[in-house]
A and B are shown apart, each in its own frame.
Chain A
Amino acid sequence: MSLRLSPALRHLRASKFTCNNCLRKKHTKISDEVHGMLRVDHAGEFGANRIYAGQMAVLGRSKSAALIQHMWDQEKEHKKIFDDLMVKHRVRPTALMPFWHIAGFLLGAGSAVLGEKSAMACTVAVEASIVEHYNDQLRKLANENPEKHAEIMAAIKKCRDEEQEHHDTGMDKGAEQAPLYKAMTAAIKVGCKAAIALSTKV
């Protein structure tokens, strides 16, 4: 059956090989779940940036400033990676960004006010829960479709390895000697879990 299409609608048949959603050639469309993963990772790296910014605001002239600055620079790089992935897949950022902006800075500055060792304890707690979270994501992606998500998995792996490094450096710098180490890390870990759950959805 032959059918004449109105000119306004003809493109629907023609545009088969470019992605409808962005300017690139057709790339594999990712599912909503992976969108959520990218959203929470982006929010996490953004939060980590703010934590280090808070720590640097307080400890900017102390002897561990160089170390914190180095870790911050790495976090900036991570955020850049996820920024690019977010734009590429057109993922909606979490609506809680302004909140993480303030909360991250306050957590960093607050822990740094208690001393360098407390700042390290905060880093250790945050990085530990982030590494765990990245590992969960990697397992999920590997189970689902490792070839399709190769790029995202590579990004997560790189970030995870460096976060693990931060965790170990924090331990080396005497995080465990901070006052109320156990209570503080437990509280921060609970906070991180809640933040992860919220940022995936909202």
Chain B
Amino acid sequence: MTHPLSSCFCSCRVNRGGQAENSLFSLFRGSVHLWKIDRMLARYLPLLQCYGNFMGRTTIIARPLLASNFSTNGTTSQDANASAQSEGRREEQVSSSKEDDVKFKIFSAALPLVHQLGWTKECLEAGAESIGFSKSSHGIFEHGGTSFVQFFHRNCNKELRKIAKVEQIESAKSDELTKVHQLLEKRLQMILPYLPQWPQAMALMSRPHSSLDSYKLLYELADDICFFAGDRSLNATWYTKRAAVAGLYITGELSLVQDKSANCDESWQMLARRIEDLRKVEEFGGSCSRQQEILKDIAQSSLTLIRNLTGMQSYQRNSR
């Protein structure tokens, strides 16, 4: 089941600019046909439900996203309705990219305020206000603080991708694990400025309703690191490598959060030790694969043995 708020925002998205009020007004005037009532109910029911559920939090509901869009000018309600219906589809498409833009603006304005306000709705609120948006426009982040943290993660992943592209060209010679080490360190350094608030972010990410998205982000991160470190494996190693990198990232995060040493040196040393462990495991695997030849011979001779025992050799010789 989706969050009740999310359905509210879906309807908000399509009908920005106070159309909710307009159409309800026309309903009361009795100038609307029955089929229109039907459609309107379907459209605004979630909104009304939401209103009931969150009477105390009226700021979130049915407010336009941008203060500038909020206008109840003199046009008649029917005109507004007709134009809304004809342009509804197009507006929906435009609004998604526009919404991302708005989200990004609010997000980047709120990020410097995290130190004072933490990864919270209030922080987004303050961020939105500081760049001239309505205080309630934080509502487009569907899960408040959680969405904020996820947005941060996504941006860090994007940034890492960009760094990795440059690195790939520079350090073409160094081996895969060294690159994994470098990239992991770069990625962990991105959370350093927000370290005091990071336990809160980790808690938000591990909440049940956001854990699925968190895993997706973690998978994206591990996949990027492995890919840019030069991993081109297409078998079970693909999975083990990504699992190892994801595990390393989580361990690094946990150790950073508790680290009291200067410059978090202990954590970086811990990371280097874990990478060395991985290198040892890899060497062990390499020495195992050298024994494969012997295994092959054993398998082949046992197959011949089975053929002789079952009499297949003589069957084939006779059938020729």
CA distance A18 to B159 in the complex (A): 14
Q: Indicate if A15 sits at the interface (CB-CB under 8 A).
A: yes
Q: Decide if A20 touches B161 in the complex (CB within 8 Å).
A: yes
User: Is there an interface contact between A20 and B223, defined as CB atoms closer than 8 Å?
Assistant: no
Interface residue from B155, B234, B316 paired with A116 (Cβ < 8 Å): B316
Instruction: Check B227–A109 contact: CB distance below 8 A.
Output: no
Stretch from A65-73, A89-97, A132-140, A157-165 at the B interface:
A89-97
Judge whether A180 is part of the interface by a CB distance below 8 angstroms.
no
Q: Which residues of B contact A1 (CB under 8 A)?
A: 131-132
A183 CB-CB contact with B under 8 Å: no
Given A83-B234, A97-B235, A97-B236, A20-B158 contact (CB < 8 Å): yes
Closest Cβ of chain B: how far from A85's Cβ, in Å?
Answer: 11
Q: What does DSSP make chain B's interface, helix, strand, loop or mixed?
A: helix
Is residue A154 contacting chain B, with contact meaning CB distance below 8 A? no
Which of B190, B232, B300 interacts with A87 by CB under 8 Å?
Answer: B232
Asked if B227 and A22 sit within 8 Å, CB to CB, the answer is: yes
Do B165 and A8 touch across chains, with their CB atoms under 8 A apart?
A: no
* A3 / chain B contacts, CB cutoff of 8 Å: 105, 108-109, 131
The total of chain B residues at the interface (CB under 8 A) is 34
Task: Confirm or deny: B112 has a beta carbon within 8 angstroms of a beta carbon on chain A.
Answer: yes
In the bound complex, what is the Cα–Cα distance between A158 and B165 (angstroms)?
Answer: 33
Which residues from chain A contact B159 at a C-beta distance below 8 Å?
Answer: 8-9, 11
**Contact: A98 with B165, CB < 8 Å?**
no
Check if B238 is an interface residue, CB within 8 A of chain A.
Answer: yes
Chain A nearest CB from B110 CB (Å) reads 11
Q: Which residues of the partner chain A approach B105 to less than 8 Å between Cβ atoms?
A: 3
Interface string of B178-189 (1 = CB under 8 A from A): 000000000000
Residues of A that sit less than 8 Å from B by CB = 1, 3, 5-6, 8-9, 11-12, 15, 18, 20-23, 42, 57-58, 83, 86-87, 90, 92-93, 95, 97-98, 101, 109, 113-116
- Can you pick out 29 interface pairs between chain A and chain B where the beta carbons lie within 8 Å of each other? A1-B131, A3-B108, A6-B111, A6-B112, A8-B155, A8-B159, A8-B190, A9-B155, A9-B159, A11-B158, A11-B159, A12-B104, A21-B161, A23-B165, A42-B234, A57-B299, A58-B307, A83-B234, A90-B223, A90-B227, A92-B238, A93-B238, A98-B235, A98-B236, A101-B235, A113-B303, A113-B306, A113-B312, A114-B312
Interface residues in chain B, defined as those with a beta carbon under 8 Å from any beta carbon in chain A: 104-105, 108-109, 111-112, 131-132, 155, 158-159, 161-162, 165, 168, 190, 223, 227, 232, 234-236, 238-239, 299-300, 303, 306-307, 310, 312, 315-316, 319
